Structure 1
Amino acid sequence: MVIELSPKPQETMAWEVKARLKREDRDNAVQAWGLNTAGLVQAGRTNVKYLPLESELLTDEQINITETIPSLILRNIAKRTWTAEQVLRAFIARTVIAHELVNPLAEVLFESGLTRARELDEILRATGRVVGPLHGLPISLKDVLHMTGVESTLGYVAWIGQLQPKNDSLVDFLSEAGAVFYCKTNVPQTLMSGECVNFIFGRTSTPWNTSLSAGGSSGGEGALVSLGGSPLGVGTDIAGSIRTPANFNGIYGLCPTTGRLPLHRADRTAGDSLIKGVAGPMSRTLDGLELYTKTILSMEPWMKDHQILRIPWSDSLYHEGLGSKHKLCFGFMAHDNVVLPNPPILRCMQDVRHALVKAGHQVIDIRPFDGVEFLKLALRILHATGGNEVREIIASSGEPLIKEFALPSSDKALTVSEYKECSKELDIIRQKYLDLVLDTARLTKSGKPIDAIILPSGGTVAPPHGTMEYLTYEAISNVLDWTCATIPVGFVNPRLDRKPTQFTPLSDYDLRNFETCENSYALSGHINANDGLDSPERYQDAPVCLQLMGLRHSEEKVLGLLRTIDRALGRTDDYKA
């Protein structure tokens, strides 16, 4: 496992010592589990996705448990086929392997998780009843989520040692439902980066190719889930922070509308931000996303958390997404007028399109959204303070900033009147694109607006570490505050994903994005030289995911539509990415 830190000065700085000690505590807690992962990866191997199953470190029972979809895990615990402790031990073992492979962990909570699992087993034995709908299910949490007595460093050395006094609202709901927490996962310093790296815990990679990014800011969560170390993880999203890691790690992820599902308790919110962060599920299975959303909404979170709207789960909306109400129509948006996605993404867009048409669904092209206006407004709002709070945090420890985060200039801070103008611009954009979707009713066979928009998850698949730049594809839904999900649909194909012979860039961003695909998707490792494919193995094995975006408060319908797409792709309901 490679841990990257900043270049060493002549004398070790105090912040470096603090970071090293924290990192050693984490690694000692992992090693205390007693699983010998030394020498697990052969030199030169970059695809470690299936190493947990190939390693012979897991028993057949542990493989069976960790390869089971979440809802079936719960049924087996409830029937006492498996104990909660058995299940947790299986996922901990797989997490230990995952940590050796891609470095996804921040906080190790194995022992407290085992205590909780044993308590749940005793309750079920004594009463014959489960505690709640998630009784005994291991759930991993992104480090941004607060737990009583546990640190939430968010990748800042300055916040090492600061124990949280209370649980977040979401953590309380999941605990009440019977979930078992056993780890928190790595994030980029500041959270505002598409690369998961900080000076405490180092860098996280995607298991599909460890030379490529795991994404951010829920990168540790995405990588752990992808390797099967967690059946269901919780990430957060304010500009693609669930969907970028889901994309780069080849899993499912749901970014809900604000006010639908809980996140922080009131005193830990970000205040009156025009673009608000949300929490959502990440899983190898669509079953995990459905289970999480149904469970939380069944608990009537609006009764305990004032931030949550009273919108119960709607079976009717879910079945509408399955196509039982009217003939479905998907709008396809090929690009955002700023960056044309690289070849494998465009190919997979067409593959999904053909599959939906073959399955009997209508597909229409929609006018690309204006990525320029989304990017400009999002950056003004997200940088409204001029980065001053970040400066204060790092100044208190003396640590530098990661190079993957571009700190905005202090003179970019907005006045109150400028911020109010952003609010007005945001309302105008939101109405503009709602009208655009409503106008599609004249083009559909049902006479209703398109059911959702299928669009790229980004301009590129998982890029080499430290190179991600463009985030507008992922930020569109946050600006609009629409429900958006990630669905895995394919992989880079060395024979099909050729660089275009002619290219006129849409923007400077597009030119730089295009340059990343030069000699990158035609891979040399397994191809004869006379094929004319002379590229390095830069993007080998990278997954390709797409986004499915619905209107506000359409979580149930989006989940139903994901199920419809999966079925069109020939997947069974228990399919695992």
Structure 2
Amino acid sequence: MVSGKTVFVPEDAAKFESFKPAIEAYNKDVIEQMEKFDPEFYAKCVAEIPAEEVLDSEPIDATSFLSLLSPQERTIVGDLTIEDLTQKQLSGELTAVEITRAFIKASIVAQLTTNCVMQFMIPEALQRAQELDDYLQTNKKLVGPFHGVVVSLKEHINVKDRITCASYVSYLDNIAPEDAASVKILYKMGAVFHARTAQPQGIMHLDTWNNINGRTRNPRSTRMSPGGSSGGESAIVAMNGSVIGVGSDIGGSIRAPAAFTDIFGIRPTTRRISLYSGVSSGKGQESIVAVQGPLARSIEELDTYMRVYINEGKPWLYDPTCVPVEWREPKLPKKIRIGVLYDDNLVTPFPAITRGIKTAVNKLSENAEFEFVHLNPTWFSEKEMEDIYTTNLKLYTCDGNQVQMEMWSPSGEPLLPLTKHYMKFGGGEALSCYDNKMLNAQRDALKMKMFQKYFADVDFILSPTYNGPAEMAAESLYWGYTSFWNLLDYPNVVFPVNVAHDVEKDAQIPELKQNKYEKMVWYKDNGEIRYDPKSYIGGPVALQLTGNRFCDEDVVALTKKFVAALGVERR
């Protein structure tokens, strides 16, 4: 392949039309599984839940429809942690089948309100739950620490003998030959898999919309985006449809969804969690390496997942790319020094984000254990950040989108607006080997500067996760607040701060910069301001905490302290 501009893959309506029966059959299976599981419950849900056009246009709180579950079911899916669920099975108070049925019901409500599920596995989940109950009855012990814990999977993660399409229409006949390493590990620990969730076209949007099952909605306000690319996971977890959601992240794809839906997510240091095996366009990508990680409704459950997965699952025994580094006990200094970035010196956040980070820092500053340092004056300049983000974008499309086009071309599927936006990253040009190496060298120099300058002065960095609260559908344009850390491979945890967008408090437009990325976020093509305070009603605010590489445990530990001090409870 030569360097230079790549011509976009031609969209072929005739080709795409020939795939319509496969799309219809794929989606029909989702409906049939919901109907067959509990016809009466499904009919009640359909009667109570608004039509799609209403959900798409109104700021509806989808979590309110969890009232369709019985009180006991609501307790199971809403109140019980991983530890609670396993202990209640061990004591005989609950069975794995009861737990699984409750989460299936919640996931049906989630699907009918948010359209988060690509593929249900309801018969398999119920069979697995019964096997776990039989094992416990016979052996008087649990299979493992996730015995009967219901886990959802981002659909591009392989599940043996199931269609794995990663939202590529041309892959609707792709049957996974094996389970992904993470699926094997979690299964061995006792997990129950019931649903595989949506991701966007090409898996490279901070939104979730594709040509197979359409648009996924935000449970907190259905006209908003759930983030992406793990937006199906954020939606089902926020809807109490699973205890843990397994997502992936190469530019913000765990963190933006967690932030948009008011839950927790971790982007671990690379190589700690296995990425083997699944479908994506990222094969051979070494300049910016993707990670896999969990989304959950509490920081404690993220901690539990990481500890169990790494220390008991030992992913390096399944995947040679994983480092044999155990999840250790955290080591926090007595006085914790936290650098605060109120913005990234490139794109000014929307007012709710600025208010949220100031509110959080003011509250946390009451704790003598924390010392906060304003990083913006010594951070990279606007010009430096513009160059860094441009480098970041060029590395995403370093092959000139060639692999993506090879995956789209057989179906001729239409390219969605955010797909076209992504394909223009870095000009959409294929890099020569030399140019790619030079950009890698720039990345490595930045990584060292981060280590020697910033993390020599502070222990952690607190920053926005995104330039706004939960974004509107198809409008998540700027990745810089998250992708910066993918480029440098520093671990992050995203957590809620009990702040949401307020029309009156967040109406004032701040002083804006004039760089192209600021204009992209704040202005419409006609030059008018894009930001409308009325559009973001109820959009949650979440922050991002970053620590040193392979110090993920410490980031989680400090997040625990933060959420306790802020009064952030399990969602």
Determine if the TM-score, normalized by the shorter chain, exceeds 0.5.
Answer: yes
Is 1:305 the equivalent of 2:319? yes
**Cα distance in 2 between the residues matched to 1:12 and 1:566:** 48
**Cα distance in 2 between the residues matched to 1:222 and 1:491:** 17
- Structure 2 residue matching 1:184: 3-state secondary structure: strand
Is 1:436 the equivalent of 2:453? yes
- Is the Cα contact below 8 Å between 2:156 and 2:279 reproduced in 1? no
TM-superposed deviation, 1:422: 2.0
**Cα distance in 1 between the residues matched to 2:212 and 2:285:** 30
Query: Which residue is 2:374 aligned to?
Result: 365
Structure 1 residues 312 and 94: alpha-carbon distance in aligned structure 2, compared to 1, 3 A threshold: same
Q: Which structure's residues are more often helix, by fraction?
A: 2
- Is the Cα contact below 8 Å between 1:520 and 1:539 reproduced in 2? no
Is 1:453 the equivalent of 2:461? yes
**Cα distance in 1 between the residues matched to 2:133 and 2:468:** 45
Query: Which residue is 1:337 aligned to?
Result: 345
From 109, 118, 127, the equivalent of 1:115 is: 127
TM-superposed deviation, 1:10: 9.8
Output one character per residue of 1:299-356: Cα deviation in whole Å (capped at 9) or x when no partner.
2322332111121121143xx2xxxx41112110111121010000000001110111
Query: Which residue is 1:542 aligned to?
Result: 539
- Is the Cα contact below 8 Å between 1:242 and 1:255 reproduced in 2? yes
Is 1:422 the equivalent of 2:436? no
Output one character per residue of 1:172-199: Cα deviation in whole Å (capped at 9) or x when no partner.
1111111111110000011011121111
Is 1:384 the equivalent of 2:398? yes
Structure 1 residues 339 and 218: alpha-carbon distance in aligned structure 2, compared to 1, 3 A threshold: same
- Structure 1 residue matching 2:388: 3-state secondary structure: helix
Matches within 5 A, 1:53-202: 53-54=66-67, 57-67=68-78, 68-202=80-214
Question: Which residue identity is paired with 1:576?
Answer: R
- Structure 1 residue matching 2:161: 3-state secondary structure: coil
**Cα distance in 2 between the residues matched to 1:296 and 1:22:** 31
- Is the Cα contact below 8 Å between 2:167 and 2:210 reproduced in 1? yes
Query: Which residue is 1:567 aligned to?
Result: 564
Output one character per residue of 1:127-167: Cα deviation in whole Å (capped at 9) or x when no partner.
01111111110000001211101121111110002110001
Is 1:277 the equivalent of 2:290? yes
Output one character per residue of 1:265-297: Cα deviation in whole Å (capped at 9) or x when no partner.
499982252211111010111122011101012
- Structure 2 residue matching 1:126: 3-state secondary structure: helix
**Cα distance in 2 between the residues matched to 1:288 and 1:233:** 11
TM-superposed deviation, 1:24: 1.8
- Structure 2 residue matching 1:123: 3-state secondary structure: helix
Is 1:243 the equivalent of 2:255? yes
Question: Which residue identity is paired with 2:250?
Answer: I
Query: Which residue is 1:508 aligned to?
Result: 516
TM-superposed deviation, 1:124: 0.6
Question: Which residue identity is paired with 2:536?
Answer: Y
Query: Which residue is 1:259 aligned to?
Result: 271
Question: Which residue identity is paired with 2:558?
Answer: L
- Is the Cα contact below 8 Å between 2:500 and 2:541 reproduced in 1? yes
- Is the Cα contact below 8 Å between 1:333 and 1:455 reproduced in 2? yes
**Cα distance in 2 between the residues matched to 1:505 and 1:101:** 39
Query: Which residue is 1:576 aligned to?
Result: 570
Is 1:14 the equivalent of 2:23? no
**Cα distance in 1 between the residues matched to 2:455 and 2:304:** 30
- Is the Cα contact below 8 Å between 2:340 and 2:462 reproduced in 1? yes
Query: Which residue is 1:531 aligned to?
Result: none
Query: Which residue is 2:6 aligned to?
Result: none
TM-superposed deviation, 1:11: 11
Output one character per residue of 1:100-119: Cα deviation in whole Å (capped at 9) or x when no partner.
10100011101101111110
Output one character per residue of 1:481-506: Cα deviation in whole Å (capped at 9) or x when no partner.
01111101121122311223x62324
**Cα distance in 1 between the residues matched to 2:305 and 2:490:** 19
TM-superposed deviation, 1:411: 7.0
TM-superposed deviation, 1:97: 0.5
Range with bigger deviation, 112-121 or 18-27: 18-27
Unaligned runs of 5+ in 2: 1-10
Query: Which residue is 2:501 aligned to?
Result: 492
Structure 1 residues 11 and 289: alpha-carbon distance in aligned structure 2, compared to 1, 3 A threshold: closer
Is 1:27 the equivalent of 2:24? no
Query: Which residue is 1:554 aligned to?
Result: 551
Output one character per residue of 1:80-108: Cα deviation in whole Å (capped at 9) or x when no partner.
21111111100000000111101000111
- Is the Cα contact below 8 Å between 1:337 and 1:506 reproduced in 2? no
TM-superposed deviation, 1:379: 1.4
**Cα distance in 2 between the residues matched to 1:8 and 1:204:** 25
TM-superposed deviation, 1:509: 2.3
- Is the Cα contact below 8 Å between 1:134 and 1:178 reproduced in 2? yes
TM-superposed deviation, 1:542: 0.8
Structure 1 residues 8 and 304: alpha-carbon distance in aligned structure 2, compared to 1, 3 A threshold: closer
Output one character per residue of 1:460-486: Cα deviation in whole Å (capped at 9) or x when no partner.
122221111110111011111011111
Output one character per residue of 1:359-381: Cα deviation in whole Å (capped at 9) or x when no partner.
22211111334432331122121
Question: Which residue identity is paired with 1:271?
Answer: G
Structure 1 residues 12 and 282: alpha-carbon distance in aligned structure 2, compared to 1, 3 A threshold: closer
Question: Which residue identity is paired with 1:400?
Answer: P
- Is the Cα contact below 8 Å between 2:165 and 2:279 reproduced in 1? no
RMSD, matched Cα: 2.3
Structure 1 residues 84 and 429: alpha-carbon distance in aligned structure 2, compared to 1, 3 A threshold: same
TM-superposed deviation, 1:512: 3.9
**Cα distance in 2 between the residues matched to 1:419 and 1:8:** 32
- Is the Cα contact below 8 Å between 1:386 and 1:411 reproduced in 2? yes
**Cα distance in 1 between the residues matched to 2:120 and 2:279:** 25
TM-score, normalised via structure 1 length: 0.88
Question: Which residue identity is paired with 1:168?
Answer: A
- Structure 1 residue matching 2:179: 3-state secondary structure: coil
Query: Which residue is 2:63 aligned to?
Result: 50
- Is the Cα contact below 8 Å between 1:49 and 1:227 reproduced in 2? yes
Range with bigger deviation, 556-565 or 401-410: 401-410
TM-superposed deviation, 1:394: 1.8
Range with bigger deviation, 372-381 or 92-101: 372-381
TM-score, normalised via structure 2 length: 0.89
Structure 1 residues 77 and 333: alpha-carbon distance in aligned structure 2, compared to 1, 3 A threshold: same
Range with bigger deviation, 35-44 or 213-222: 35-44
Matched positions, count: 536
**Cα distance in 2 between the residues matched to 1:310 and 1:453:** 26
- Is the Cα contact below 8 Å between 2:233 and 2:246 reproduced in 1? yes
**Cα distance in 2 between the residues matched to 1:152 and 1:9:** 23
From 474, 497, 504, the equivalent of 1:466 is: 474
- Is the Cα contact below 8 Å between 2:523 and 2:531 reproduced in 1? no
Unaligned runs of 5+ in 1: 1-6, 441-449, 523-536
Question: Which residue identity is paired with 1:365?
Answer: H
**Cα distance in 2 between the residues matched to 1:188 and 1:382:** 16
From 334, 337, 341, the equivalent of 1:326 is: 334
